[in-house]
């Protein structure tokens, strides 16, 4: 899977950029070239969908159709989701949200996102904690122009993100594609176990375990001894100075999911 978002829509931590990319023999690529490479590497069954200059999704089904590592793509009411892996408690989640048993994981994430964006009955951290299984997903709300991404705590599903030419942000499960597209400006996407990290375009990378803490960047060095992106986790010793939210303002919609 592959998603690309322009820098105005998805602004990653500055530490994800590596100055070594400027001097690397492998130069960052522009989105059009990255999409072309992805489609060429999956000529039989890959497709892409673009949203002007804002975003692009590219998808190819898993090579092993019987693998437990699912890969899904769907869109509902201008909200699009790529989902990797599986949820062990999908049936109970569908009952909790009053959804049909015919919904798969990607459809559930969209419906949960839409419900909580519009009505916000639960805190966002509780929603993420309710997801049991090995998973990673990226949601793009094309109407609200927002991005939401998270990765499960067991880290069996891997996602990577990086900065391509022009500042566009690339997210993919294909490490080789990320390296070829982003030169030295890439890193593993932080998992939920890393202080409950998630990314939303309005608030950036944040921790729900420590929501008022700043995210700390830890330099990554590659096999050549070159600075290569950064790993991130919550710095519990720091605090972001904000007014505390109480009552209904503590819900999902007003913690980064308001359209």
pLDDT of residue 6: 95
pLDDT, position 170: 97
* pLDDT under 70: residue ranges of the chain: 64-68, 120-127, 192-197, 207-215, 234-259
- Output the pLDDT for position 257: 40
CATH superfamily of 2-250: Aminohydrolase, N-terminal nucleophile (Ntn) domain (3.60.20.10)
Cα separation, 13 vs 104, whole angstroms: 32
- φ/ψ (deg, to 5) at 235: -95, 95
- Looking at residue 200, its pLDDT comes to 78
Of 146, 163, 176, whose CA–CA distance to 31 is shortest? Answer: 163
The full set of domain ranges for the chain reads 2-250
Task: State the Cα–Cα distance between residues 186 and 171, nearest whole angstrom.
Answer: 9
Q: How far apart are the first and last CA of the chain?
A: 26
Nearest to 140 by CA among 206, 70, 204, 76: 76
**Which sign, positive or negative, has the C-alpha torsion 186, 163, 45, 66?**
positive
State how far the alpha carbon of 211 is from the alpha carbons of 115, 214, 239, 244, 256, in Å: 22, 8, 9, 11, 12
Residue 98, number of CB atoms within 10 A of its CB: 8
Instruction: Provide the pairing of β-strand 186-188 with 197-200.
Output: unpaired
CA atoms within 13 A on the CB side of 81: 25
pLDDT digits (tens, 9 = 90+) for 89-98: 999 999 988 8
Q: Are 199 and 147 in contact (CB under 8 A)?
A: yes
Tell me whether strands 186-188 and 204-207 are parallel, antiparallel or unpaired. unpaired
Q: At what angle do helices 31-41 and 175-182 cross, to 10 degrees?
A: 150
Buried b (16+ CB within 10 A) or exposed e, 109-118: bbbbbbbbbe
**pLDDT tens figures, 37-76:** 999 998 888 999 999 999 999 999 877 665 667 899 999 9
Calculate the alpha carbon distances from 39 to 35, 48, 171, 208 in Å: 6, 8, 15, 36
- State how beta strands 214-221 and 227-235 pair: antiparallel
pLDDT, position 243 = 39
């Amino acid at each position: 899977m592959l998603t690309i978002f322009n820098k105005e829509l998805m602004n990653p931590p500055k530490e994800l950029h590596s100055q070594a990319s400027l001097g690397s023999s492998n130069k960052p690529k522009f989105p059009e070239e990255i999409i072309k490479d992805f489609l060429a590497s999956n000529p039989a069954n890959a497709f892409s969908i673009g949203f002007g200059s804002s975003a692009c999704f590219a998808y190819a089904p898993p090579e092993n159709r019987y693998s437990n590592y699912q890969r899904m793509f769907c869109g509902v009411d201008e909200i699009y989701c790529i989902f990797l892996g599986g949820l062990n408690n999908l049936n109970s989640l569908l009952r909790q949200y009053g959804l049909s048993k015919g919904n798969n994981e990607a459809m559930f994430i969209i419906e949960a996102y839409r419900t909580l964006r519009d009505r916000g009955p639960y805190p966002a951290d509780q929603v993420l904690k309710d997801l049991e299984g090995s998973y990673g997903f990226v949601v793009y709300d094309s109407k609200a122009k927002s991005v939401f991404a998270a990765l499960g705590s067991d880290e069996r599903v891997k996602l990577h993100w990086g900065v391509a030419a022009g500042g566009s942000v690339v997210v993919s499960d294909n490490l080789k594609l990320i390296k070829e597209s982003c030169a030295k400006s890439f890193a593993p996407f932080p998992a939920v176990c890393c202080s409950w990290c998630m990314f939303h375009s309005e608030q950036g990378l944040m921790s729900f375990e420590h929501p008022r803490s700043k995210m700390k960047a830890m330099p990554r060095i590659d096999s050549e001894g070159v600075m290569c992106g950064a790993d991130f986790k919550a710095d519990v010793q720091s605090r972001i100075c904000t007014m505390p939210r109480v009552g209904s303002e503590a819900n999902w919609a007003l913690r980064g999911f308001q359209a």
